[in-house]
Structure 1
Amino acid sequence: MAAAPRVVAELGRPETADETAARKAASSAAYRSSKTFRNLIVALLVTVAVVAVVVFGVPRGALPDPEPADVAASAASASASVGQPLLVPVVPEDWRANSARLEGTSMWRVVYAPPEGFIRVAHGLGASPTWASETLGGLAPTGSVTIDGIVWDEYTIPSAAQTAAISYALATDAGADTVLIYGATDAETAAVAAEGVAEQIRNLRKETP
């Protein structure tokens, strides 16, 4: 004897064959959607686990520091292209030379990293009298100081006027050229760089008619 059709509470009557098919289809779609979502979550968790292993589990050594710049060799090469000697500062052994290059045809610049801050020694070739001030953003000297017989214009730069963290600078002529020592530094450290180029500045002055 055939079973009586099931009465659906929501309908208050037995459901039709079409309604039964629709209900089963909806149930099947909901099941597949739920399974797909669970699979997505599982895949995401697996991906996170793999990334975590790569990031935290694979040993990685620190990148080696780049070799310091060879200031003397770079100066010799650049001097040949501009036809005049360029400054090779004499500085303490713990001052790292980060770069030494000719910028255009008008400036030779060496960048050092002393134990604290940074300092640049710039040699302006045939620079105008205002070149140092222009390089420092238009600042005027705040005084003068004599270092190893060389008189330098001194720039003590207050925090409000600092650009690129430049806090102190020294400038002097070297014959037809200008030498500018500047950086995130203090008077004592800048004086070390000034002493390291004093003799070369005197030689440049002698060579200028």
Structure 2
Amino acid sequence: MSPRKKEPKIVAELGRPETPEETAARKAENSRLYKSRKTINNLVYSMLVTLALVLVIYFLVPRPDGDPQWNIDYVAQSEVAAQTLNRDLLVPAMPEDWRANAAELRNANNGKVTSWYIGFITPNDQFIAFNEAFEADATWVSQTLNEYPPTGEMTIDGQVWTVYDNREMSDPGNVEYAMVTTSGDATIVLFGTADPVEFEQLATSITADLRSAQ
């Protein structure tokens, strides 16, 4: 008697044995799912390795204390700028708790106006931009102050300053408050977000030099 052939298994979902085509399709789908899961696992593993490397670099690379871009030596930079322009520049003598995040020469109006710029960070962590521009006109002042109109005047040690108080505006940007004066061919513009008292402190620091230049 010949051995009895093994009956094909009945697939519960089908209620009958699989056809050869269905068997091949099932195996192909299982293979695809396996490869897909393997790809995702490899991707997750790669991301974890990358994250680990980033953390190692972050903790091993030394970083300077404090905020270095807030410690520009603007006095030293003023000497370089003065040599470049071949003229004396105003250099505010501020306390040590006044820091600078920039000190440089800037050009505007297609190079027609050159200005000596210092970006001050005040003791209250507010910002005041100091600009000493040469042969600047009213257009340059207006553009620098976002075309805001003046709101008054004040006199500090005999030097008259035009005041721009924009603090009541909904969004004055970095020009919440500003002060402008002139001395010879120089126009001095102070603007920023600091309290008016700090503006007056900065203006006072250069008043003697302004009056001697007139």
**Deviation sequence 1:73-119 (CA, Å, 0-9, x none):** 22222222223211111112111111111112521111111122100
Match of 1:66 in 2: 68
Q: Distance in 1 between matches of 2:210 and 2:86?
A: 17
Candidates 158, 182, 185, aligned match of 1:176:
185
Match of 1:3 in 2: 4
CA separation of 1:130 and 1:46: change in aligned 2, threshold 3 A: closer
Match of 2:37 in 1: 38
Match of 1:103 in 2: 106
Q: Distance in 2 between matches of 1:26 and 1:132?
A: 77
C-alpha deviation, 1:193, in angstroms = 0.5
Q: Distance in 2 between matches of 1:189 and 1:144?
A: 16
**Deviation sequence 1:120-154 (CA, Å, 0-9, x none):** 11101122255433321222221111223312111
Q: Distance in 1 between matches of 2:187 and 2:38?
A: 71
What amino acid maps onto 1:168 in structure 2?
A: Y
The normalised TM-score by structure 1 is 0.80
Query: Cα RMSD (Å) of the superposition?
Result: 2.8
What amino acid maps onto 2:4 in structure 1?
A: A
Q: Percent identity at matched positions?
A: 29
**C-alpha contact (below 8 Å) 2:174/2:191 kept by paired residues:** no
The total of aligned residue pairs comes to: 200
**Deviation sequence 1:48-69 (CA, Å, 0-9, x none):** 4334534557625674232622
The normalised TM-score by structure 2 is 0.78
CA separation of 1:66 and 1:7: change in aligned 2, threshold 3 A: closer
In our comparison, the structure showing a higher alpha carbon Rg is: 1
Match of 1:113 in 2: 121
Q: Distance in 2 between matches of 1:61 and 1:151?
A: 51
Matches within 5 A, 1:2-151: 2-4=3-5, 6=7, 19-20=19-20, 22-54=21-53, 59=59, 63-64=63-64, 65-66=67-68, 68-104=71-107, 106-115=114-123, 116-129=125-138, 131-151=140-160
**C-alpha contact (below 8 Å) 1:141/1:153 kept by paired residues:** yes
C-alpha deviation, 1:38, in angstroms = 2.6
CA separation of 1:85 and 1:5: change in aligned 2, threshold 3 A: same
Q: Distance in 1 between matches of 2:97 and 2:154?
A: 25
CA separation of 1:54 and 1:7: change in aligned 2, threshold 3 A: closer
My pick for the range that moved more, 89-98 or 33-42, is 33-42
**C-alpha contact (below 8 Å) 1:171/1:178 kept by paired residues:** yes
My pick for the range that moved more, 149-158 or 26-35, is 26-35
Candidates 168, 189, 202, aligned match of 1:193:
202
